[in-house]
Amino acid sequence: MRLKKYFILFFLVLFSFLLSKDDASAYIVDFSGDILIESKNEKSRKKTAIIGRSINSGDVIKVLENSICDIRTPDDKLFIRLDSKTEIKFLNKKGIREIHLKNGSLYLHNINLKNNYKTYLFANHSQIYLLDSEFWISVKDGTTDKIYSIGDEIYISDRYEGRKILLGDSYFREFPSMNKDDISMIHATSNEIYSINPNNPEENFKNEIPDYTFIDFITPRKESEVFNPLLFGDFSKDSSLFKRSESDLIPMYYANTNVNIEDKKYGFNIYSGGSYLYNSYYNNIVLEPYFSFDNFELIMRFDEYIKTENSSPFINRWVQGGGNPIYVNPTTILSKISYMSWFNDKKTIYMNIGKLKNLSFGHGMLLHKYSNSYNYPIMQRTGIQIHLSPKNKYSYSFDFILSDISQTFNDGGLIGAHASLFLSKFFPLTIGFGYINDFDQYSEINIDLEGKSNLEARQVDLEYSLINNNSYKLNLIYEWDGIFYPDVVHYIRNTESNPYEPVNTTGTQGHTFGTKLSLDSGHKLITVFHGNQALYTPYYFSSTYDFEKIRTLKFNDQNYAHSSNKEYLDKFCVGGDCNNDDVIYLSKELYPVMANGDFVFPTIGGSIQYDYNYYNKRGLSISGMYLIDNHPDSDNSYYLLDFEVFSSGGYIFKRLNNYKLYFHRNFTSDNDLDNNSENIMFGTILDINIFKSFKLYLDFQNVFYDINEDTIVDHVKVFSAQIKYEFK
């Protein structure tokens, strides 16, 4: 009861601070070459650029030779591209943003509509108040600020005596004979500010202006494109930062890990609070040190759960038995690696160790949004992910994953690899090959069984570009997936001619064909048709795979599927002999046919998947699939639903730093009402700023699976409420 009172207190704190405001910052959305960030923080004097890294008030950004850097503010109102050999200082005060251009040149686009900030740019001889402004400016010539305006409004004044030029709609209405293009070039010197004659070759500097200046970097959304404001706030704030071919260059590595890069070279956080894990209450404390050096970053999370009742199970098993306290448990130690990252200088190789999230191969029909971090800390896993791709990010790629390092100690673990190759712009076909192997699905079962299950899978995926323009891309997609069983699977199916028709198979396969539409605004829609052999289900290795790879069932000698396979099933009963009501431990390929006869006929159906990801700052993913048995003697049907929404950076409320809401339901039968809660996960994560160094962290997880191996599906709840203190 005491812990419940704490939870109520946490909720009161949550709603007290959600509506309060917080300071904004900027962040890097893309770059190439060498970028240095000099922070006023003594702990991190210099940092290198990483996509998603924050730019704090007072930071100096230096773009070295043959490099560029793109910066954006969280409210999507300001975009800056820094050219080669450019240096700026960024200041963010209450309601005011300042960009101080010290050297070089930059492009800047500001949107004034619903903008809560006044924004100013300061150059050598001019200061510019940004309204609906879009311009390029250079201070390479120390005697003259060269300004090229292509926006609707620009308000320029000198830095000392108040001379100004105001070019906007009101100006051109007052002087209709003036051509906007004729006065778009402006010089600012120590003596005057004036527009120049573009026909004067001595003053015209258009040859110095980069070609990208004439591309629409920011395109405000139309009202017709605004939808679902309850989930994302005002979608009209969103805009198209790049043409989609550019935004595709963001490494998928960061999107998959979904980890916020720390902005300091090193630091330390402490969490304290309470947790409810399955059916027990715990007090917990977390120590979270982090370290960053050049291309290497490490975040450790040492969390301990103190029992409030003696009957509660231990969560962390620091020792591995044998009575020797020095004999530490490697599984527990490895699970405390929250995030370990390394990438090479060219940013063509990425490696991550720790929590893996939302991993897919190809079109995601075999490995689909797999994560190893659900149900933590009851399940503790530490995975590996490696990504290789060239600088252009699309001509080829290679990915490797290992779901859990510690399972390899028991000859288990899920590994996967996928390679893809883009053939040519003249024949725009991408070919992918994938391989997945679960060395032993029984590696996490703490009982002795004679049987094992080495499950192997392969895939071939194709994608052909039909239409590719500045607004959207339309591609044809195809994927073949094959599952190969370690043993012959014997099952029966009920047909009109034979109610106990025996079928034997060593594997199964599925085919997927459809289209993928990608808009330059970040929206993606996939619609496909599925044709599957018996026993195959798309999304085979999905977010719920770790909860369904081994499931339990009571042996029943009156069930023909059990009695006819008793000799084989004996290997999966304790003691090697199945008797009535004994628990059978069934791997994923065996459970459907032994439990309820699902998927014993070929299936056909369709699915639709919608994704929106705005530079990993906010996103929405919805998918659904419906399959029916493709046989005249069966009317079974199956469905799955998937939903996830996330946001970061205070987009909904200034104090709500991060949030995530998800619901995953893997395949279930319309005709099976007894197990309608199985293979379900849902939950939410909230990270809320309270004060400068205090945050409130809430984590709700709900998973349905047989946690105590008694053949009954349990509702496993994980609820944590913690206060976080950041040492800076």
Provide the 10 A C-beta neighbour count for residue 689. Answer: 22
**Ranges of H-type helices in 86-233:** 169-174, 229-232
pLDDT at 197 over 60: yes
pLDDT classification of 529: cutoffs 50, 70, 90: very high
Distances, alpha carbon 61 to alpha carbons 27, 28, 64, 291, in Å:
11, 10, 10, 21
Residue 669's pLDDT is what? Answer: 63
Handedness of CA 41, 42, 45, 49 (dihedral sign): negative
Structure tokens at 668: 């279930």
Report the pLDDT value the prediction gives residue 672, as an integer from 0 to 100: 53
Tokens representing residue 75 in the block: 């409210």
- The pLDDT-based confidence of 246 (bands split at 50, 70, 90) is very low
Give 426's contacts (C-beta < 8 A, 6+ positions apart): none
Residues linked to residue 462 through DSSP beta bridges, in sequence order: 431, 478
Amino acid 167: pLDDT = 52
Q: Which helix (H) or strand (E) holds 256?
A: helix 252-257
What is the pLDDT, as a whole number, of residue 570?
92
Separate counts of helices (H) and strands (E) for the chain: 10, 41
Which H helix or E strand runs over 70? strand 68-72
Of 14 and 297, the one with more pLDDT: 297
Tell me the two tokens of residue 706. Answer: 């047989």
How many CB atoms are closer than 10 A to CB 467?
10
- Is the pLDDT reported for residue 532 higher than 60? yes
The pLDDT score that the predictor gives to residue 240 is: 33
* Segment 647-669 mean pLDDT: 81
Q: Residue 18: pLDDT band by 50, 70, 90 thresholds?
A: very low
Q: Which of 58-72, 224-238, 286-300, 529-543 has the lowest mean pLDDT?
A: 224-238
Q: Chain-centre distance of CA 208, in angstroms?
A: 39
Residues with Cβ within 8 Å of 507's Cβ and at least 6 positions away in sequence, in order, are 482, 483, 484, 485
Query: How far is 604 from 511, CA to CA, in rounded Å?
Result: 10
This prediction's pTM: 0.68
Per-residue confidence (pLDDT) for residue 610, from 0 to 100: 94
Q: Tell the residue number behind the tokens 């903008």, with chain if given.
A: 115
User: Within a 10 A sphere around the Cβ of 693, how many other Cβ atoms?
Assistant: 12
Q: Would you state the pLDDT for residue 20? A: 41
The Cα–Cα gap between 588 and 601 comes to 17
Mean pLDDT over each residue of the chain, to the nearest integer: 81
CB contact at 8 A, 661 and 644:
yes
Distance CA 78, CA 82 (A): 13
200-231 pLDDT, tens digit per residue, is 777 778 788 887 776 655 444 343 333 343 33
pLDDT (0 to 100) of residue 159: 63
Can you list the domains of the chain with their CATH numbers?
Answer: 28-73+77-217 (2.60.120.1440), 254-727 (no CATH)
Looking at 186-190, 431-435, 441-445, 574-578, which range is the least confident one? 186-190
Rounded alpha-carbon distances, angstroms, from residue 84 to 31, 210, 392: 11, 11, 19
DSSP state of 702: E
CB atoms within 10 A of CB 159: 15
In this predicted structure, what is the pLDDT of residue 311?
85
H helices of 30-103, in order, are none
Percentage of the chain modeled with pLDDT above 90: 37
Q: Provide the pLDDT for residue 293.
A: 82
Q: What residues contact 392, with CB distance under 8 A and at least 6 apart? A: 249
- pLDDT (0 to 100) of residue 393: 59
At 152, the pLDDT band (50, 70, 90 cuts) reads low
Q: How far apart are CA 282 and CA 314, in angstroms?
A: 10
Q: Judge whether residue 613 has pLDDT over 70.
A: yes
In the structure, what pLDDT confidence band is assigned to residue 358 with cuts at 50, 70 and 90? Answer: confident
